[in-house]
Structure 1
Amino acid sequence: MADLRHGSLGRVRHLTSVNDLSDAELHYLVQRSAWYAGPGSAGVRPLEGCVVGSYFRTTSTRTRTAFAAAALRLGAGHVAYGPHDLQLNTGESIEDTARVLGTMLDALVVRTAADPAELRALLAQDRMAIVNAMTADEHPTQAIADLSTIERHFGKVGGLRIAYFGEGNNTASALALALSRYADVEFCLATPRGYGLEQVFLERAQAQAAERGTSVVEVHDPAAAIEDADVVYTTRWQTTGTSKADPEWRTSFVPFQVNEALMSRHPRAVFMHDLPAHRGEEVTPEVLDGPASIAFRQAEQKMHSAKAVLEWCVRGRHP
């Protein structure tokens, strides 16, 4: 019987960043995620006999449920750990914890409190796949879900124009890294001054984009953003698990609200949001619930993308 613990290629696979993936692997995962949303995937259970764990240090509705449901629907067992369930709280090192969990689990889906170093420490073992379900700097599985939502709606990712409004947070960094791996994309981030994309992510995305005939730009005035985009995207202004030093920070964000006036500059665009939404802050109810919104289809797509990611990590399926 094949050893599923190490995948069909005989090695464990981690997904801690979009840039863990080659172009072919990223495109495959996006397309595979879209495939899992279709009728042809019914009854497919490639993780039969495997066990997936999830360890979430902060709150989560969509990502945590998506990976738990994906594991179960693919035939795996699932073990959930909250922020106070592991002996990390009594002084055990994260490396020792990982070595133990790696003898029992095939994959561990992890959302850390903030520090990406905690996630990287889990990579010391080589038996259990580690999936980044969000760190302070990047949310790679969100980007895969987002691009597969776009793929399903437009039938492609390359050649599209995407306008992002709001903070240059972990969702924005993952989107920049992912969209810059497609050809002929225009990705414009409109962010409040002082709340832009981290320079390391912006420079990396721009370098990748230049190789593919793609554009990644950041502006700090919403009026300077591209017009007539195919996709308008926003996220909540207060990223999960973070706080802002300036008590008046909302003043800087108000001009970046996605409302009907902003959407009128993009008459053919669909609206996307990684959720949860704070209605009346980053987006108005009229836009979130309006005919252009695919935000809740995007949320459902997270489960299908989780299936593709788990299958790729555990079984070693590849392009």
Structure 2
Amino acid sequence: MALQKRSLLSTDELTDADLRAVVARGVRHSAGQAARTLPLTGDVVGVYFRMTSTRTRTAFSAGALRLGAQLVSYGPDDLQTNTGESLADTGRMLGRMLDVVVARTGRPQRELARWAAQKDVAVVNAMTAEEHPTQALADLTTLQARFGRVEGLRVLYTGEGNNTAAALALALTRFRGVHLELRTPAGHGLSPQIRARAEAHARRSGATLAERHHMDGLPAEVDAVYTSRWQTTGTSKADQGWRAAFAPFQVTAGLWEPYPKAVFLHDLPAHRGEEVTAEVLDGPMSVAFEQAENKMHSAMAVLEWCRGAL
């Protein structure tokens, strides 16, 4: 039977059952418990990154090879979109030659949606301006592996409401009893569109979502503290004084006094001394590098889902 070709542009495209299946499969890959099969044998996976990437690009490249696929890799200057070819025409051609395209554009998500609409190729969003869904899947894989569940966890996110925060909000609020609290500088929070979607998930699932623009009155109990770079990859801030606004949101060891059992997550790369101190990132509470490794394990689960092998 021919394998499917399903695209993943947002975690919203996964049913609740599929979301849990992808996370559970990532945990099994992480634990070395997944069967050693090669479900993507004969497939060709294109990896197209217009922006820098260490973890996501390596995760999908290594994951595709481990599943039996062959790779075609493109850098930011390799496609003829640079010479004027439309993104739509480029997508039409790639769809005739590849089975899966993993793409990081940093541009509006609607551009990848044009590729995915063709149905000839599975398209994976490896980060657009709005969302970073495969990061959220790695985050959930890490939490599930660490706590044995996602339901009921209490997560505190501090810093910019960027595409990592957006994806985290859209994914975590699908799980009953989760409380996600975001502390973001004024003017740098979740977009109204992302917030509305996450709140709709929370109402349906029984999760809760809160966002405040200060660090006063933090939650009484937290299982995980998460932060991300203040300067999101490929972006810049118009306000020259933005660092002063972000400074109160730095994650320091002092934050752990009421949460001695909480773990620390970071999507990496990190700037020690900026969004997080070295004492936290390199300390015993940090699972950031396990989280980074889980990008490969969850990438394998995503590729299996895209091809209907999960």
- Equivalent residue in structure 2 for 1:37, among 10, 30, 34: 30
Matches within 5 A, 1:42-61: 43-61=36-54
Root mean square deviation, CA, Å: 1.1
Q: May I ask how many residue pairs the two structures share in their alignment?
A: 310
**In 1, Cα distance between the equivalents of 2:293 and 2:210?**
29
1:241 aligns with 2:234: yes
Which residue of structure 2 aligns with residue 142 of structure 1? 135
Whether the aligned pair in 2 keeps the contact of 1:66 and 1:303 (CA below 8 Å) is yes
- Equivalent residue in structure 1 for 2:268, among 271, 275, 296: 275
SS in 2 for 1:211: helix
**In 1, Cα distance between the equivalents of 2:178 and 2:117?**
36
CA deviation after TM superposition for structure 1 residue 262, in Å: 1.2
Could you tell me which amino acid in structure 1 is paired with residue 90 of structure 2? T
Which residue of structure 1 aligns with residue 94 of structure 2? 101
Matches within 5 A, 1:1-319: 2-4=1-3, 7=4, 12-41=5-34, 43-314=36-307, 316-318=308-310
Tell me which stretches of 4 or more aligned residues in structure 1 moved more than 4 Å: none
Question: What TM-score do the two structures reach when normalised by structure 2?
Answer: 0.97
SS in 1 for 2:97: coil
Deviations 1:86-143 (A, max 9, x none): 1111222212111111111110000003222321221242111000000011000000
**In 2, Cα distance between the equivalents of 1:45 and 1:223?**
51
Whether the aligned pair in 2 keeps the contact of 1:258 and 1:287 (CA below 8 Å) is yes
Whether the aligned pair in 2 keeps the contact of 1:176 and 1:187 (CA below 8 Å) is yes
**In 2, Cα distance between the equivalents of 1:42 and 1:275?**
29
SS in 2 for 1:14: coil
Could you tell me which amino acid in structure 1 is paired with residue 309 of structure 2? R
**In 2, Cα distance between the equivalents of 1:115 and 1:174?**
14
Relative to 1, partners in 2 of residues 1:153 and 1:79: Cα closer, same or farther, differing over 3 Å?
same
CA deviation after TM superposition for structure 1 residue 42, in Å: 5.8
Sequence identity, in percent?
Answer: 57
**In 1, Cα distance between the equivalents of 2:219 and 2:235?**
29
Whether the aligned pair in 2 keeps the contact of 1:219 and 1:225 (CA below 8 Å) is no
Could you tell me which amino acid in structure 2 is paired with residue 287 of structure 1? V
**In 1, Cα distance between the equivalents of 2:229 and 2:254?**
19
Could you tell me which amino acid in structure 2 is paired with residue 93 of structure 1? S
**In 2, Cα distance between the equivalents of 1:171 and 1:177?**
10
Could you tell me which amino acid in structure 1 is paired with residue 113 of structure 2? R
